[in-house]
Chain A
């Protein structure tokens, strides 16, 4: 189970609303490399993960991604609060506004809605952990791209925090992959799928 804690993982206090920035930052809420996809990817993969340490990393990183989802939503909310119709038009947010008003909706910067196709759960320990390492790098690149386009220090600070966490998660997933490989035949890591072939009925 999960329990809500009434605090952000890292503070977000944006003094100046700027809906134009929210338009692309929302991609880390519901886009292809966003936080909801990351969280559901790891939390889905853990059920069939046979190695205890790797299942721990998937559980704990998947949980932290939910805290990141809340931070991104908070950034979007604070950038769009109290916006007037004139500001909506100036920012080119008419299409978002007509469907969601000031509500936070899981979509990519390009406007397409969150799609579970963006997260993988293959049921193979090596495949899934390599996917996770790539996912962390893709999210890191997205945050780098966001940082190229924002100039407000109130936005930069939490985005930089989120970017740093992608690097830490990449490191932990790399260690989880090493632990998985330590349990396999070093002459051929791919001879079997440990999530399927090492079940008692297959031995």
Chain B
């Protein structure tokens, strides 16, 4: 997968978690939603780790300093994807 495809995996899992979190805010005891959220937490964690291993940090505190300050390398989100 290229950068955009891997980023899309992160965005999809992030969106699922975000939208489910909002639902859980007003339905905090919904067991089905809690299980669904837990399932996607794993998907999200894996997608972020896969992306960051190849393309650098999504959040500054994930920067691997053995590679230098990679946080400012690569495109910013407002730039058109290649």
Contacts and interface: CB of A to CB of B under 8 A. Distances in A.
Among B10, B18, B19, B80, the most chain A Cβ lie within 10 Å of the Cβ of B80
The SS class assigned to the B binding surface is helix
Size category, A interface = 20 to 34
A83 interface: no
B49 interface: no
A176 B78 CA distance: 33
B78 A78 contact: yes
Contact of A60 (B21, B71, B81): B21
A53 B58 contact: no
Interface in A69-124: 70, 73-74, 77-78
A57 interface: yes
A9 B15 contact: yes
A6 B81 contact: no
Nearest to A76: B78
A15 B81 CA distance: 10
A5 B44 CA distance: 14
A157 interface: no
B10 A7 contact: yes
A98 B66 CA distance: 45
B53 interface: no
Contact of A5 (B23, B28, B59, B78): B59
A3 B61 contact: yes
Given A14-B80, A78-B78, A78-B80, A7 B25 contact: no
Interface in A2-20: 3-15
A61 B18 CA distance: 10
Nearest 10 pairs of A and B residues by beta carbon: A175-B26, A56-B25, A74-B78, A8-B77, A57-B25, A6-B58, A13-B81, A13-B80, A77-B78, A172-B22
Interface of A: 3-15, 53, 56-57, 60-61, 64, 70, 73-74, 77-78, 168-169, 172, 175-176, 179
Given A5-B14, A7-B14, 12 more contacts: A4-B60, A6-B57, A6-B59, A8-B11, A13-B80, A53-B25, A56-B25, A57-B26, A60-B18, A60-B21, A169-B22, A172-B26
